[in-house]
Amino acid sequence: MNPITRRTCLQAAAAATLIATPLAAPAALAQGAGQGAAAPGTSLEDRPLFGATLRTLPNGLRVAHVEQRRAPVIANYAYVAAGGGEDPPGLSGIAHYLEHMLFKGSPRVASGEFSRRVAREGGNDNAFTSRDVTGYFQHVEASRLPLVTMMEADRFAGALIPAAEMESERRVILEERAQRTGSSPRALFYEGFDAAMWGRQHWRGRPIIGWEEEIRAISHADLLAFFRARYAPGNAVLVVAGAVSAEEFWKVAEAEWGALPAGPAVPRDRAPPPASPPEPRFVRNDPRLRGEANFVRSWQAPSMTAGDSALADPLEVLRHLLGGGQGSRLHRALVEGGIALAASASYDGDVAGWTDFDIAATPRREVAPERVEQAIAAEVKRLLDAGGPTEAEVARSIRQMSAGSLLALDGLGAAPRMIGNALAIGLSMDTVEYWPRRMRAVTRDQVARAAETVLGRAPSGSGWLLPEGVAAPAEVRL
């Protein structure tokens, strides 16, 4: 399953109104708001979404807790602040490879036994690798929290990573790559497009699963070095949500995780974006493509952790009003206008390092591709020429996004995924807890500035995925 960040959870909820592997010292300062009734007169949108509490153990491990007692179950999530973006040059895919190998045993848990034990307890477990984090989680009956905590801490402390099982797992990963990417024209296109926009060896241009030739080159020594450098309490986050009190959780976490040595703190080394895309116009013709073509235009954009972070929230609003659903500008102009089957905008600001702002569209089969590219350029130009969106558009988008965010409270895994991702990339818990309030503070002028800065001035590129024999139209300059 894909990792869920605050953005993905909240935007999915609003629409309704990262690669997976199947399968004891006292606590320090507490932070965050506890659960309980909001102060009189406090609106729902001014309350914390989850009422989480946060502590940091002496070894540097951050542990967050969310009490939810709708059912006698818990979700236990452990995050490492290292994902595909931390893969060393020439070793793309190593974070994901290591994720697989962490199911191959630890001092107290035999190879493959982790998932078997969870299954015997009626639970489920999984893991995922995104560009920013590697995450491991279990959903079990609440009384089994000590068991899964013990097993998780055990593999973080001393995963065996047996050389004897490395080649069989390499074959699994190569098959996963073939199924997810090699067999999909669209997946191959977007993999190539990212490399064209950022560079094949830039951390944003490399696929999280890795380039095939580099997956084949990863050695046992490489895996051990990455594990020893990155898997340490000071580089990790533990989040538990469910039917367990904070006191019970702290006791279990301290007992199993507290004795782990802190390990070295390893900062992220995220390179800035290139001055311009290495290949600003990327075209791929695929003979397997029998359906519609795809067009995408991408701009380099700041995030909450890199560049002008003050633009991140306004860019979220801009994304919504441009391409966030049926009422958006792009939907009205392209889909209701009869030239596209779908049109959308995307932006992910809660990431480590620079990100991008994208507009994508799928032309109708009977429509010439250039008409879609021209229509998108015209819509962007209209927005910029007008000095940004209207007050009404901004207010409507903020209202829809904020209302939809309340739906993110549902589901046991939402809180640990959103909070864990935020903490692992260096954001505070409040960036999740008070997201609706932050959105309501965004002004029209801020959105206009974000649009001009990114859509008007930032380096950009475009790409077409087309059937074999169909020529790409001439690029429309913005």
Q: Which residues form the catalytic set? A: 99
Amino acid of residue 46: D
Q: Which helix (H) or strand (E) holds 294?
A: strand 294-301
Q: Would you call 283 helix, strand, or coil by DSSP?
A: strand
Report the C-alpha gap between 58 and 453 in whole angstroms.
Answer: 42
Amino acid of residue 301: A
Strand order in the sheet with 20-21: 20-21, 124-129, 134-141, 73-80, 236-242, 62-67, 53-56, 30-31
Best CA proximity match to 214, nearest among 163, 174, 162: 174
Residue entry with tokens 């009190």? 245
> Are 408 and 333 contacting, i.e. CB atoms less than 8 angstroms apart?
no
Best CA proximity match to 19, nearest among 89, 78, 94, 75: 94
Report the C-alpha gap between 446 and 313 in whole angstroms.
Answer: 9
Rounded to a whole number, what is the largest CA-CA distance in the chain?
Answer: 67
Residue entry with tokens 């046992």? 220
Alpha-carbon torsion angle 366, 367, 368, 369, nearest 10 = -120
Residue 56 tokens read as 């940091």
Q: Give, to the nearest 10 degrees, the angle between helix 113-120 and helix 145-158.
A: 170
The number of angstroms, rounded, from the C-alpha of 215 to the middle of its chain's C-alpha atoms is: 22
Distances (CA, A) of 242 to 92, 317, 385, 409, 413: 36, 32, 50, 12, 9
